[in-house]
Amino acid sequence: MTSQLVYLNGEYIPLNEAKVSVLDRGFIFGDGIYEVIPAFGGKTLRFEHHMQRLQNSLDAVRISNPLSNAQWQAIIDKLITATGPQDQYIYLHITRGVASRDHRFPDNAEPTVFVMSNVLHAVDPELLEKGISAVTLDDIRWQYCNIKAIALLPNILLRQQAVDRDAAEAILIRDGNMTEGTASNIFIVSNGIIKTPPKDNKLLPGITRDLVVELANTHKIPIEEVTISEKEFLSADEIWLTSSTKDVLPITQINDKHVGNGKPGPVWQDMYQKYQDYKEILRKTSN
């Protein structure tokens, strides 16, 4: 544990001094929500979009937002500055607060608020060259996957099953259709068309996902937000994952079989470049 500066309940303190009560409902019940926001050149990527998703998660679990967007921004800016000039990802966590253990909502608990920023290392160039491997697994999660809930036990168990099979990600199948990864959204390319599942309660509305959809539309690259069956998924020409910490990453092996010719595809290469260009523009904009 380091002494990096973090924010906890109104205070800026070293990480190794940040403590919460064992009665915090985040600890006891996993009763809270979170956000992960990447920052490039000191500037958060799509701050407003992340704040909107945070608000949606809070509304869905009935915790009132303890801070205004300007206050969130000020905390994040301070932590980015304290962490240094590197690219970073900000982790932001809100629980229903501290109360005696009882499932019903407490009457007077104050939400617990925790924010930290860590260095975001660029994706290993070898992964970009070779792609990563993934496995498909049954989506055993709950029915509110659109909420960015801190209770991630199903995602953790699924990811570990992938790791146990030497794969980097598990891609989830529900009712015969592909939903998303354990910590990523998924795109396929099929007959030259990019496809990703539509946003609903079965997946997290990824900010990176939305940006990729927007970039495709801006550049008039064919893209569809449609249901993708397991069969279509497994026979795709290209598969990618997206997340705030992994950018747009090619998946070249599924269940030990090659995706397409087993190499990152041309449509991915093009989108990856467009995503990098977008980040570069953000890096160069003044605060």
What positions carry a catalytic annotation?
148
Task: Report the distance separating Cα 242 and Cα 196, nearest Å.
Answer: 11
Q: Does 204 bind ligand PDD (CB under 6 A)?
A: yes
Give the burial class of 60: count Cβ atoms within 10 A of its Cβ; 0-12 exposed, 13-18 middle, 19 or more buried. middle
| Contacts for 84 with CB less than 8 Å, ≥ 6 apart | 119
Q: Does 207 bind ligand PDD (CB under 6 A)?
A: yes
Q: How many angstroms separate the Cα of 227 from the Cα of each of 3, 51, 199, 223, 252?
A: 46, 27, 10, 13, 21
Site string (173-192) toward ligand PDD, x via CB under 6 A: -------x--xxx-------
Q: How many angstroms separate the Cα of 84 from the Cα of each of 117, 238, 281?
A: 10, 37, 20
* 31 or 169: CB nearest ligand PDD: 169
Beta bridge pairs of residue 24:
98
Task: Report the distance separating Cα 176 and Cα 94, nearest Å.
Answer: 34
* 24 or 169: CB nearest ligand PDD: 169
Least distance between ligand PDD and beta carbon 20 (Å): 20
Least distance between ligand PDD and beta carbon 37 (Å): 8
Q: Does 243 bind ligand PDD (CB under 6 A)?
A: yes
Strand, helix or coil at 64?
A: coil
Cα-atom radius of gyration of the chain, to the nearest Å?
19
* 73 or 105: CB nearest ligand PDD: 73
* 25 or 209: CB nearest ligand PDD: 209
In the chain, DSSP finds a helix count (H) and a strand count (E) of 8, 15
Q: Does 117 bind ligand PDD (CB under 6 A)?
A: no
Q: Does 244 bind ligand PDD (CB under 6 A)?
A: yes
Q: Does 209 bind ligand PDD (CB under 6 A)?
A: yes
Least distance between ligand PDD and beta carbon 268 (Å): 16
Least distance between ligand PDD and beta carbon 67 (Å): 20
Least distance between ligand PDD and beta carbon 137 (Å): 13
Applying CB under 6 A, the residues found at the interface with ligand PDD are 36, 180, 183-185, 204, 206-209, 242-245
